Homo-oligomer: A and B are copies of this chain.
């Protein structure tokens, strides 16, 4: 890729970004869009209703940037929770890393690269210069200037490690103070017990009660046995759908009766009144539901939520093996009641184990199969290949602009499209694994998406680009540095374009929320009753890996092609503002993990650093500077040791709170008059929602209310 192609790409994307920003600043002021751009505030009913029309509403403005900028961390913490703060810290951390990296890269490495003679020494035709002349590829073999790169790698690693340590310590202290300031919550007092050994004589409930009264008699409080309610949930969902249709039909929009044929697809059979038809169906469903709910006693799962009188009591039962057989009485932290994920609540130890294995196999299969689209996309950056595949396009590809668009823009767009299918699949995988809470599922999916991205975007591109693409490489660890060193620098232009297109575009479309905008417009156009308004939650599992992946690109290309860094800095600056805005206005947290996503960030950064070192070992070898190559070797070892230390120093806090915190909080509660009320709530906190229709959202009113009739509406 030549410089001008990159500039074209940058130009296009800057244009798109400005267009989106302008559109956003106008659209967000339209009252009808408030549920798209500020659903969170609607949820909290802070937003005013349909206002008067002003001309101002049609002019773009930057007030939202200012507002997003001004929010302090404490405000963010109080409105969106610690997870949001941690998410924003990723941007702050990355900015710190890449500002320091950028200074080294642009002022020291870039001049050295450009002065090299390996590729060309022609200053005249700058726009047609290959991007490679800005990369390490241009430095002469065996040149002593490579020691600049060598020192840069050491200095940068030191800086990143220092920042990582600082951030880990900052977030873990935040986590502890967050715990101290949190109100008593059911999940702090509760654990999940699976693998309860069921005997034929007594019910699961009795067994649980006897066990915990026996072995935790001073702290045991109550328990809720989990029941298999998939079928009831299905019935409820179906009934809800029917009820909505019914309400819709009964609205004034359709005063005349509507008929429908009974038979196949509503095309054959005798005509029936649709209203009657639905009402009968609903009644039938309700009968079914009642039967199901009454026959539920037999559907106990050998699992239960067990609550304790104190946090320490729960921690004790959680941390010490309960039964003699470790596959029975398996304890686990309880999630918050609203984030329990019921559908895959499987209890048996063996079943979960087998599901886990199945997921691992499926994950590997998907990761490998995904290579096919990646390889095709890769072809697009090599135009010659494309011309061989599609000979008829030769004429078209000769046009500079089109060829620039194709090489600079299309590949990452297609990749992006394919990638958008990945996070939901990973969530599905994680839910099959038997995690019981949405946060665990998202965390596990986040990890899966991250490794998937690294493999399928980074490695697949790097290795296929050098025509050396073979899984075999990883069976010969000795060759890895060499192969990577051959492949990685060549893909610099692709990844710079990737940052610009995929990175910038994803941010601006995140801001504009194109899909919700269209669907809101759609529902406004046709009907209002179907608009089942729900404040969206933040999709950590797809956003975090993406941001981390740009971090990986920045770290690995830092010394290879420092030209990537300014683009990354733009990305992180934009991201910082945009995500703060979105967290304030759009998303509401579905759960609160207390910053447990940070270890994923930390690990991915360590991985990126070690990857950089391996590439450096290879590069210095290829550039015939074996001494530098050997002198890099201690660096990954030291980084690994640093990581080990951090694991010991900080990670435990992210798993469990220590006795010190638990006892302090418990003691503070003892004097709290509200605790009696809290304990009352605790008893029923973990009832399956399918069994407690009355406490659900208003859309389930039909369960207790008699059927609506025209007169009621």
Interface set of A (CB-CB < 8 Å, partner B): 176, 214-216, 312, 315-317, 319-327, 349, 353, 357, 472, 475-478, 641, 645, 648-653, 656-663
Point out the residue from B472, B477, B653, B663 that lies within 8 Å of A475, measured CB to CB. Answer: B477
Cross-chain contact of A656 among B320, B327, B349 (Cβ < 8 A): B320
Taking A216-B659, A321-B657, A476-B478 as known contacts, 17 extra A-B pairs with beta carbons closer than 8 A to each other, sorted by chain A number, are A214-B663, A215-B660, A315-B320, A316-B319, A320-B658, A320-B659, A321-B658, A323-B660, A324-B653, A324-B658, A324-B660, A326-B650, A326-B651, A326-B658, A353-B648, A476-B476, A477-B477
A667 CB to nearest B CB, Å: 9
Per assembly, the copies of the chain total: 2
Q: Which of B216, B641, B661 contacts A324 (CB 8 A)?
A: B661
Residue ID in chain B nearest A663 by CB atoms: B215
Q: Which residue of B lies closest to A650 (CB)?
A: B326
Q: How far is the CB of A534 from chain B (nearest CB, A)?
A: 38
Are B215 and A326 within 8 A (Cβ)? Answer: no
Quote the shortest CB–CB distance from A459 to chain B (angstroms): 18
Of all chain B residues, which has the CB nearest A179?
Answer: B324
Given the contacts A357-B641, A663-B215, A326 and B649 also touching, CB distance less than 8 Å: yes
In the bound complex, how far is the Cα of B472 from the Cα of A651, in angstroms? 35
Chain B residues with CB below 8 A from A316, complex form: 316, 319-320
Q: Closest B-chain residue to A315, C-beta based?
A: B320
When distances are taken between beta carbons in the complex, the residues of chain B under 8 Å from A653 are 321, 324, 326
User: Which residues of B are found within 8 Å of A324, using beta-carbon distances?
Assistant: 176, 653, 658, 660-661
Q: How far is the CA of A176 from the CA of B325 in the complex (A)?
A: 10
- Please, how many angstroms separate the alpha-carbon atoms of A659 and B328 in the complex? 12
> Which of B320, B327, B648, B649 is A649 in contact with, Cβ under 8 Å?
B327
Q: Are B326 and A648 in contact (CB under 8 A)?
A: yes
Given A357-B641, A652-B321, check contact A477 B476 (CB 8 Å).
yes
Among A312, A472, A658, the one with the most B-chain Cβ atoms within 10 Å of its Cβ is A658
Docked pose: A659 CA to B85 CA in angstroms: 38
A-B contact list, 11 entries, CB within 8 Å: A316-B320, A319-B320, A320-B656, A320-B659, A321-B653, A326-B649, A326-B653, A353-B645, A353-B648, A476-B478, A477-B477
Give chain B residues whose Cβ lies under 8 Å from the Cβ of A321. 652-653, 656-659
| A322 contact set on B, CB distance < 8 A | 658-660
Residue from A176, A349, A660 having most chain B Cβ neighbours under 10 A: A660
Name the residue of chain B whose CB is nearest to the CB of A357. Answer: B641
Task: Please give, as numbers and ranges, the residues of chain B lying within 8 Å of A325 by CB-CB distance.
Answer: 649
Smallest Cβ-Cβ distance to A477: which chain B residue? B475
Minimum distance in angstroms from A93 CB to a CB of chain B = 22
Which B-chain residue is minimally distant from A212 (CB atoms)? B659
Q: How far is the CA of A434 from the CA of B663 in the complex (A)?
A: 31
Which chain B residues border A662 with CB–CB below 8 Å? 320
Contacts of A317 in B (CB 8 A): 659
Within the complex, the shortest CB–CB distance from A551 to chain B, in Å, comes to: 26
CB of A611 to closest CB in B, whole Å: 18
Of all chain B residues, the one with the shortest Cβ separation from A480 is B475
- For the complex, give the distance between the alpha carbons of A650 and B649 in Å: 29
**A658 partner residues in chain B, CB cutoff 8 A:** 320-324, 326
A349 to B647, CA, bound (A): 13
Measured CB to CB, the nearest residue on chain B to A349 is B648
6 residue pairs, one from A and one from B, having the closest CB atoms:
A326-B652, A475-B478, A321-B658, A319-B319, A476-B476, A215-B663
Which residues of B have CB within 8 Å of A216? 659
User: Which residues of chain B come closer than 8 Å to A478, judged between CB atoms?
Assistant: 472, 475-476
Bound-complex Cα distance A661 to B472 (A): 50
Q: How far is the CA of A317 from the CA of B475 in the complex (A)?
A: 45
Name the CB-closest residue of B to A475: B478
Taking the nearest CB of chain B, how far is it from the CB of A327, in angstroms? 6
Distance in Å from the Cβ of A171 to the closest Cβ of chain B?
Answer: 13
Residue of B with least CB distance to A645: B353
| Complex: A645 Cα to B214 Cα, angstroms | 29
Residues of the B chain whose Cβ atoms lie less than 8 Å from the Cβ of A215: 659-660, 663
Complex CA gap A317/B460 in Å reads 49
A663–B326 CA distance with the chains assembled, in angstroms: 16
Q: Which of A176, A215, A216 has the most CB of B within 10 A?
A: A215
Nearest-Cβ distance from residue A660 to partner chain B, whole angstroms: 6
Nearest Cβ in chain B — how far from A81, in angstroms?
A: 21
| Complex: A476 Cα to B649 Cα, angstroms | 35
Assembly CA distance A353 to B312 (angstroms): 30
Contacts of A472 in B (CB 8 A): 478
**Chain B: minimal CB distance from A145 (Å):** 31
A214: chain B residues at CB < 8 Å are 663
How far apart are A179's CB and chain B's nearest CB, in angstroms? 10
Please, how many angstroms separate the alpha-carbon atoms of A349 and B651 in the complex?
15
